[in-house]
Amino acid sequence: MRAYRLFAAAIVGVGVATMSTGVPAQDAPTGIVGLRQATMKTLGAHMGALKAILTDQTEMVDQVPMHARAIGDVAGHIPVLFPEGSTDPESDALPAIWEDKADFDSHAEKLSELVAALAETAEGGDVQASLAAFGQMGKEGCGGCHETYRKKDS
Amino acid sequence: MTLTSIIHPVKAALSVLVAIFAAGTGALAQDTQDAVRETPSDPLAAGRLVAAIGGCANCHTAKEGAPLAGGDPIHSPFGTFYPPNITPDPATGIGGWSDEEFITAMREGISPGGDPYYPAFPYTSYTHMNDEDLLELKVWLDSVEPVEQASPAHVLRMPVWPHLEAPFDVRFALWGWRWLFFEPARFEPDPAKSKEWNRGAYLVEGPGHCAQCHTPRNIFGALDHDRAYSGSATGPDGEKIPDITQGPDGIGDWSQQDLTFFFKIGMMPDGDFVGSEMAKVVNEGTAKLSDADRAAIAAYLMDLPVD
């Protein structure tokens, strides 16, 4: 119900000013933050390919495990991409990551498990079941971590 | 509504007092059925679907609580609201309500006792729902496990004296707010548009109550229909509700297929998954609709006017 609370807050805010996070354009971050953002984007790209296979090019379902493995590979490296103190004004990583790094890391592990389940399902060739496994992977694997450890507004 | 009516001092004062959130008279009026229905023929299953897209449980079910037996508090600058128990328990829920009483509550925001509801209950959207959907919704609500659990009183706060917080009732003042910002309406299909568009319009404007989050509000907390769906200002922690029009900050680069898929599993075109409140809207709501309904929502959104 947070969002409802937010408009309520916004109502008052509106009277003062319509706040907007107009962050001036800045160079993309470099260093470890730049790397992990670039790495996360590759995950997004694999998700796009998986979606294209499972909703459109379904006869290519045998390619699902390839993308799933790639995501799983990256997932294993997420923990080291977030070393203590690797903040940057442009980073969406929340400080909560370093308050309980073990929990954060467990989300990466969870992603590895879900993505392995997707690969296994897809090997059976069932597109509908693969789509369901894909949705679960996205919601719980990617979304589960973002919900807790990434800034909402990007 | 004219400017003079807004600035009428007494009414304005009352309205500010109770401008909780949510409101607005939709542009759509009058009922229609056939053009806009696509639900299972079993009323119980159909009603469950209406409740899903209506998001009732998102507010009326507490995190650890029994289904619909009362929700977690909604905090606002105007106080704290407790979405009440809407299970069929006769003493503490809405058991024993007639169909008419239920429809009046949902569509007009008036209780069986004749009192107006706070617009924290999004009846300003539900007012567009048609009779069939509401009756099926009630069939399903009546089938929910009754739970005896009294609903806490709302704790209202006067913005003028923010330190004063007390369970007092300013329902009477809601009449002023309603007079300014609410008129019961019904969905009216646009014959110039396709059946798909009209179905999408109904789902978005009515049960889906998308505007309650995605449309900005005026200083009285009423929806600003001139800027419909253009997103909402940032909250205190910098979170904002995105623009979902075809405008420059909106979703003009999403295809209908992108949107349909988004409403199915929550994935955005860049491969990222939606979070926060929208994840609930998708997982508990749009994910349960038919592909045709999701495509209809997409078609309507893609045709929203850009100001």
Asked if pLDDT for residue B7 goes beyond 60, the answer is no
Round the average pLDDT of chain B to a whole number and report it.
83
B18-35 mean pLDDT: 33
Instruction: For B49-77, give one letter per residue: b (16+ CB within 10 A) or e.
Output: bbbbbbbbbbbbbbeeeeebbbbbbbbbb
The whole domain housing A77 covers 29-149
- Across the interface, of B58, B77, B277, the residue whose CB is closest to A9 is B77
Q: Could you say which DSSP state residue A58 is in? A: G
Predicted pLDDT of residue A142: 94
Round the average pLDDT of chain A to a whole number and report it.
85
Q: Is residue A141 part of a domain?
A: yes
A73-81 mean pLDDT: 97
The length of chain B, given as a count of residues: 307
Is residue A46 within 8 angstroms of chain B, CB to CB? yes
Instruction: For B140-176, give one letter per residue: b (16+ CB within 10 A) or e.
Output: bbbebebbebebeebbbbbeeeeeeeeeeebeebbeb
Asked if pLDDT for residue A20 goes beyond 60, the answer is no
CB of A122 within 8 A of CB of A64?
A: yes
B149-181 per-position pLDDT tens digit: 999 988 877 655 555 555 556 777 788 878 888
Asked if pLDDT for residue B5 goes beyond 70, the answer is no
B62-113 per-position pLDDT tens digit: 999 999 999 999 887 667 889 999 999 999 999 999 999 999 999 999 999 9
Is residue B299 within 8 angstroms of chain A, CB to CB? no
Total domains, chain A:
1
Predicted pLDDT of residue B120: 87
Q: Which of B139-143, B194-198, B224-228 has the lowest mean pLDDT?
A: B224-228
B15-43 mean pLDDT: 43
Residues within 8 A of A (CB atoms), B 154-213 only = 159, 212-213
Interface contact flag, A6 B265, Cβ < 8 Å: no
A95-149 per-position pLDDT tens digit: 999 999 999 999 999 999 999 999 999 999 999 999 999 999 999 999 999 989 9
Predicted pLDDT of residue A99: 96
Interface contact flag, A55 B261, Cβ < 8 Å: yes
Cα–chain center distance at A152? 12
Q: Which helix (H) or strand (E) holds A11?
A: helix A2-16
Residues in A touching B270 (Cβ below 8 Å):
41, 44, 48
Q: Is residue A110 part of a domain?
A: yes
Residues in B touching A134 (Cβ below 8 Å):
265
Predicted pLDDT of residue A7: 40
Nearest chain B residue (CA) to A10: B235
Q: Is residue A50 part of a domain?
A: yes
B254-266 mean pLDDT: 95
- Across the interface, of B217, B274, B275, the residue whose CB is closest to A14 is B217
Q: Is residue A93 part of a domain?
A: yes
Q: What is the pTM of this model?
A: 0.83
Residue from B272, B280, B282, B288 to probe the interface with A (highest A Cβ count within 10 Å)? B272
Give all strands of the β-sheet with B165-166 in edge-to-edge order: B74-76, B79-81, B155-157, B165-166
A10-21 mean pLDDT: 33
Q: Is residue A20 part of a domain?
A: no
Residues in Cβ contact with B265 at an 8 Å cutoff, skipping those fewer than 6 apart: A131, A134, A135, A138, A139, B282, B287
CATH code assigned at A126: 1.20.120.10
Higher pLDDT, B168 or A45: A45
Interface contact flag, A14 B241, Cβ < 8 Å: no
Which whole-number Å values give the CA distances from A132 to A140, A147, B245, B246, B280, in the listed order?
Answer: 12, 20, 29, 30, 17
H-only helix segments in B26-98: 43-54, 56-60
Predicted pLDDT of residue B229: 94
Amino acid at B199: R
Q: Is residue A2 part of a domain?
A: no
Predicted pLDDT of residue B169: 64
